[in-house]
Amino acid sequence: MKTHTIHRVLSVLVVLTTVVLWQGCKPKAPGSVTTGDAASLAYVPPGKYDEFYNVVSGGFNGQMSIYGLPSGRLFRIIPVFSQFPENGWGYSEETKPMLNTSHGFVPWDDLHHISLSVTKGEHDGRWAFGNANNTPRVARIDMKTFKTVEILELPNSGGNHSSPFITENSEYIVAGTRFSVPVGENTDVPISTFKENFKGYISFISIDPSHGEMKIAFQLKTPGISFDLARAGKGPSHGWFFFSTYNTEQAYTLLEVNASQKDKDFIMAVNWKKAEEYIKAGKGTKSKAKYAHNVWDESTHTGVSTIMDEVLQLDPAELKDIIYFIPCPKSPHGCDTDPTGEYIVGSGKLAALIPVFSFTKIQAAIANKDFEGEFAGIPVIKYEAALHGEVKKPGLGPLHTEFDNKGNAYTSFFVSSEIVKWNVKTLEILDRVPTYYSIGHLSVPGGPTTKPHGKYVVAYNKITKDRYLPTGPELTQSAQLYDISGDKMKLILDFPTTGEPHYAESIPAEMIMPNSVKIYKIEDNNHPYVSKGEGMTKVERKGKEVHVSMTAIRSHLTPDNIEGVKLGDEVFFHVTNLEQDWDVPHGFAVKGANNAEILVMPGETSTLRWKPLSTGIFPFYCTDFCSALHQEMQGYIRVSPAGSNVPLKFSTGKIEDQASGAGQ
Amino acid sequence: MKYLIGIILSCVIFSCAPDKPVGDTKESEANKSAVEAITDPTKGIGAIKNVTMNTPLDQDRIKRGVDVYNMKCQACHTLDEKRVVGPGWKDITKRRKPEWIMNMILNVDVMLEQDEEAQKLLELCLMRMPNQNLSIGDARDILEYMRQNDGEK
Ligand SMILES: [Cu+2]
């Protein structure tokens, strides 16, 4: 990007304002701290591509979105846990099963974190995983089609926040519960019996190495506390997982105060290889649990939901050496392992320092039983015994840390609204920049892997205020891009985002671009109602159901005249897009439909259910501008009274009454 | 260089068709000079430089051609002279060189961009013929079917 010759003359050219260090969390006037060449650093000329795919969680929109870096341009929203009327996700008959859960159809969720699949600790560009925070689930997105292809519900969880962090070779993603909850046969207990009845569960979800299918390999039963975030070990610490915890006070009300009593909560270190050994030795117990497992079948273009009834559990209070606690100051949030796998950075939300733990020291402390005691039957390692050192006076409210490829860490500070760069080994603070405003997560391309790509850090800010043109009480969420290729971080771009992004990962474009699927082969379409050619279109009655097998191609729908539907019938439009060319979706909508439209990709079949509530003529049409004659891509369906004897018939291009206008 | 690739391609074309290569026994006979093939604008633009056509028609090809037609072409092309979205196919093999037809099928974007005849059709139909992602073998099967439709035996 540096070689770009185009330098836009800028209106944003720039008075270097004094960088105020300890900013309050109260927004200041919009700062202009960009430097002269900022615009050219973030500028991608028309027709050129971005350097990175930026896969961003959508928070309360329940989706993921794909941006380009460094331009900050939004390319796509991928519906995951929430219905998306724009393309029919969760509305079409094929996609509804993907949102099935043990609580029935759940059309919304809160997607916080992204994990991209890795091999040997490095990005491999195969899948993106996301977590559902509200009705606990994890999802897998195929990076060839940018489509959600699997959703797995998590039993015994009360809110899947500590998820979906991934191990070095994508062996597992994890799912730690934010709320401890009562589990088992009787969960109708007084809330005040928290200590006695409430448990926290951590699920280890295995990933099939060839097709990626997820399965709950085992759950660890842990004391009733809250799990916040996590990271896997890597390199020397591969085989371990680190979770931040809060509410070790085990409060069940006014957590704001009551869960902030203790000077230290814990980082929980999990030896998952040990857990695997116990399972091999038959120490796991099978426990009843009801949860949904939904898988997308690309050959039938249909999701299939299966209700599962069992999980394998391990109890670390009985099975020693699986978990250890490490004290960590003041409600740790981020818990991040550096690229070497030696250092684990804990960020206490309310702490004024950042403790950095050493994996080597943790191992030595375990070997020497350097414990300060036990918590709920689990050994607690002495703080000093595990500690590499503390970053002193880094800022206020440290949240998350990511890493570059030069041994540096970047920590976000919510309260003081800044990013602080420091050296992981020496713990020395190297630079700090303000963010606008109140940064949550931050993201360096490849930051959580063994081989960070470096170059940029993106701040995902929680408060927007005056950064953009105001749009009433509700504002877009603001992201900021900083160049980190030099010694000093440089703000080069502000960009608005969709939803409520929490976390993101970025991956070099060349790892994704060549594999991006352009069409689905119509030959391979095994949908039960596919029409492989207009000759196969038909309308069939099955009792009160009318199934229309329809095709779409520029620019007509076949059939486009349908009669013989009666009030009380349910009509299923199974639309096959016959195009085999890239970027030619067709859409389908029918008047009065109580759901949405469907967007059908080339070679795909998708179904819209429609239940007419009155008699008459109902128009339908293609919703995706597909050709010069797109406006003509339309048709009619006739609905007659329940008892009528209008025969079922359908056609395209057939002019029945030669005397009518069309026949002339 | 591009031409060289073209020539090489045209030699391997029928070996990468999904079926056993057709018995192109009279290949040398039908093969005109390569240079002539390259510069002949009536052959269209694309990888197809020379097509060998045999009689009698290859019935297996025709069968496969019908299947491809039904699935991927029939929505826009009739077998008679009637234009629906695209032109009807009646007598197309008499109007066009086989190479042009196959290039139109396999390389339609470039043809619509650069080939005068294809552009005339676009002006007439006002709709870009889609690339339906056919293999060279599929396109050859379609051609065989078109020949039959035009009365060849
Ligand atoms: Cu259309």
The CA distance from A610 to the nearest CA of chain B, in Å, is 25
Among A32-46, A262-276, A345-359, the minimum mean pLDDT is found in: A32-46
The CA distance from A92 to the nearest CA of chain B, in Å, is 24
- Domain annotation covers residue A264: no
Cross-chain Cβ contact A534/B75 below 8 Å = yes
Do residues A225 and A176 make contact, with C-beta atoms less than 8 angstroms apart?
A: no
Best residue of B72, B83, B126 to probe chain A, by most A CBs closer than 10 Å: B72
Collect all residues with Cβ–Cβ distance below 8 Å to A493 and sequence separation of at least 6: A38, A41, A42, A70, A71, A72, A480, A481
Among A197-201, A324-328, A654-658, the minimum mean pLDDT is found in: A654-658
- Domain annotation covers residue A538: yes
- Domain annotation covers residue A34: no
For residue A336, give the nearest of A210, A186, A263, A443 by alpha carbon. A443
Cross-chain Cβ contact A519/B84 below 8 Å = no
Q: Residue A584 Cα, ligand 1 centroid: separation in angstroms? A: 8
User: Which pLDDT belongs to residue A348?
Assistant: 83
Which whole number is the average pLDDT over A493-501?
A: 96
* Domain endpoint, select from A318, A338, A361: A318
From CA A134, how far away is CA A84, in angstroms rounded?
A: 18
The CA distance from B71 to the nearest CA of chain A, in Å, is 4
Q: How many CB pairs under 8 A join A and B?
A: 54
**Residue A573 token pair:** 């439009």
- Dump pLDDT digits (tens) for A509-532: 999 999 999 999 999 999 999 999
- Dump pLDDT digits (tens) for B80-117: 999 989 999 999 999 999 999 999 999 999 999 999 99
Do residues A228 and A162 make contact, with C-beta atoms less than 8 angstroms apart?
A: yes
Q: DSSP string of B98-116?
A: HHHHHHHHHSHHHHHHH-H
pLDDT at A487 over 70: yes
Q: Residue A286 Cα, ligand 1 centroid: separation in angstroms? A: 52
B84 vs A contacts (CB less than 8 Å): 653
pLDDT at A402 over 90: yes
User: Which pLDDT belongs to residue A214?
Assistant: 98
Instruction: Classify residue A473 by its DSSP letter.
Output: B
Q: A651: part of which helix (H) or strand (E)?
A: strand A649-651
- Domain annotation covers residue B3: no
Cross-chain Cβ contact B127/A578 below 8 Å = no
In A371-500, beta strands by DSSP E: 371-375, 378-381, 387-392, 398-403, 408-413, 418-423, 429-434, 439-443, 456-461, 477-483, 490-497
Which whole number is the average pLDDT over A449-453?
A: 97
Q: Residue B119 Cα, ligand 1 centroid: separation in angstroms? A: 22
Q: Which residue has the tokens 């392992």?
A: A337
Cross-chain Cβ contact B130/A523 below 8 Å = no
The mean pLDDT of chain A is 92
**Residue A608 token pair:** 């819209």
- Domain annotation covers residue B22: no
User: Which pLDDT belongs to residue A248?
Assistant: 84
- Domain annotation covers residue B27: no
- The total domain count for chain B is 1
Do residues A415 and A26 make contact, with C-beta atoms less than 8 angstroms apart?
A: no
Q: Which residues of A touch B (CB under 8 A)?
A: 519, 521-523, 532-536, 551, 553-556, 558, 578-581, 584, 627-629, 653
The CA distance from B84 to the nearest CA of chain A, in Å, is 9
Neighbours of A270 (CB within 10 A): 25
The CA distance from A479 to the nearest CA of chain B, in Å, is 39
Cross-chain Cβ contact A555/B133 below 8 Å = no
Do residues A128 and A60 make contact, with C-beta atoms less than 8 angstroms apart?
A: no
A534 closest CB neighbour out of B74, B126, B130: B74
Q: Residue B129 Cα, ligand 1 centroid: separation in angstroms? A: 14
Interchain CB contact of B18 with A (< 8 Å): no
Cross-chain Cβ contact B85/A523 below 8 Å = no
User: Which pLDDT belongs to residue A615?
Assistant: 98
- Domain annotation covers residue A516: no
Which whole number is the average pLDDT over A3-16?
A: 35
Q: Residue B90 Cα, ligand 1 centroid: separation in angstroms? A: 27
3-class state of residue B10 by DSSP: helix
User: Which pLDDT belongs to residue A12?
Assistant: 32
- Domain annotation covers residue A187: yes
From CA A99, how far away is CA A358, in angstroms rounded?
A: 41
- Domain annotation covers residue B24: no
Q: Rounded to whole angstroms, what are the CA distances from A229 to A166, A268, A275, B32?
A: 12, 10, 20, 71
Cα of first residue to Cα of last residue in chain A, in angstroms, is: 61
**Residue A505 token pair:** 């990962």
Q: Residue A604 Cα, ligand 1 centroid: separation in angstroms? A: 14
Which whole number is the average pLDDT over B31-56?
A: 76
State the residue range of the domain holding A553: 525-651
pLDDT at A235 over 70: yes
Which whole number is the average pLDDT over B17-44?
A: 49
pLDDT at A5 over 50: no
A581 closest CB neighbour out of B71, B84, B131: B131
Q: Confidence class of residue A172 from pLDDT cuts 50, 70 and 90?
A: very high
Angle at A153 between CA A300 and CA A169, to 5 degrees: 85
Q: A633 to chain B: nearest residue by CA?
A: B85
Q: B134 to chain A: nearest residue by CA?
A: A580
Q: A552 to chain B: nearest residue by CA?
A: B75
Which whole number is the average pLDDT over B117-143?
A: 95
CATH no. for residue A624? 2.60.40.420
pLDDT over 90, % of chain A: 84
pLDDT at A603 over 50: yes
Cross-chain Cβ contact B75/A556 below 8 Å = yes
119-148 of B, contacting A, C-beta below 8 A:
126-128, 130-133
pLDDT at A629 over 60: yes
**Residue A182 token pair:** 């009562």
- Dump pLDDT digits (tens) for A213-226: 999 999 999 989 99
Q: Confidence class of residue A660 from pLDDT cuts 50, 70 and 90?
A: low
User: Which pLDDT belongs to residue A233?
Assistant: 98
Which whole number is the average pLDDT over A421-432?
A: 97
Q: Confidence class of residue B143 from pLDDT cuts 50, 70 and 90?
A: very high
A629 closest CB neighbour out of B71, B127, B132: B127
Q: Residue A552 Cα, ligand 1 centroid: separation in angstroms? A: 7
Q: Which residue has the tokens 């909508």?
A: A589
A580 closest CB neighbour out of B84, B128, B130: B130
A579 vs B contacts (CB less than 8 Å): 130, 132
A581 vs B contacts (CB less than 8 Å): 130-133
- Domain annotation covers residue B107: yes
Which whole number is the average pLDDT over A577-606?
A: 97
Among A50-54, A331-335, A590-594, the minimum mean pLDDT is found in: A331-335
From CA A165, how far away is CA A116, in angstroms rounded?
A: 9
Cross-chain Cβ contact A579/B127 below 8 Å = no
For residue A171, give the nearest of A234, A242, A230 by alpha carbon. A234
Cross-chain Cβ contact B126/A628 below 8 Å = yes
How big is chain A, counted in residues? 664
76-105 of B, contacting A, C-beta below 8 A:
76, 84-85
- Domain annotation covers residue A642: yes
- The total domain count for chain A is 2
Cross-chain Cβ contact A533/B72 below 8 Å = yes
- Dump pLDDT digits (tens) for A74-110: 999 999 999 999 999 999 999 999 999 999 999 999 9
A517 vs B contacts (CB less than 8 Å): none
The CA distance from B34 to the nearest CA of chain A, in Å, is 31
- Domain annotation covers residue A366: no
Best residue of A530, A554, A655 to probe chain B, by most B CBs closer than 10 Å: A554
- Domain annotation covers residue A158: yes
Which whole number is the average pLDDT over A540-562?
A: 96
Q: Residue A629 Cα, ligand 1 centroid: separation in angstroms? A: 8
The mean pLDDT of chain B is 81
Q: Residue A582 Cα, ligand 1 centroid: separation in angstroms? A: 14
A653 vs B contacts (CB less than 8 Å): 84
A558 closest CB neighbour out of B75, B126, B133: B75
Cross-chain Cβ contact B84/A653 below 8 Å = yes
- Domain annotation covers residue B33: no
pLDDT over 70, % of chain B: 75
Q: B129 to chain A: nearest residue by CA?
A: A554
**Residue A29 token pair:** 């006037």
- Burial letters A23-48, b for 16+ CB under 10 A, else e: beeebeeebebbbebbbbbbbbeeee
Collect all residues with Cβ–Cβ distance below 8 Å to A449 and sequence separation of at least 6: A118, A121, A122, A123, A234, A339
3-class state of residue A507 by DSSP: strand
Q: Confidence class of residue A6 from pLDDT cuts 50, 70 and 90?
A: very low
State the residue range of the domain holding B100: 40-149
Give the HSE-up count for residue A344: Cα atoms under 13 Å, Cβ half-sphere: 35
pLDDT at A259 over 80: no
Q: Which residue has the tokens 């191609």?
A: A553
CATH no. for residue B64? 1.10.760.10
42-71 of B, contacting A, C-beta below 8 A:
70-71
pLDDT at A13 over 90: no
CATH no. for residue A207? 2.130.10.10
User: Which pLDDT belongs to residue A242?
Assistant: 98
Q: Confidence class of residue A33 from pLDDT cuts 50, 70 and 90?
A: low
- Dump pLDDT digits (tens) for A380-390: 999 999 999 99
Cross-chain Cβ contact A532/B71 below 8 Å = yes
B40: phi > 0 → left, psi -120 to 50 → alpha, else beta; which?
Answer: beta
For residues A86 and A250, the model is more confident at: A86
- Domain annotation covers residue B25: no
Do residues A17 and A32 make contact, with C-beta atoms less than 8 angstroms apart?
A: yes
User: Which pLDDT belongs to residue A253?
Assistant: 86
The CA distance from A103 to the nearest CA of chain B, in Å, is 42
- Domain annotation covers residue B20: no
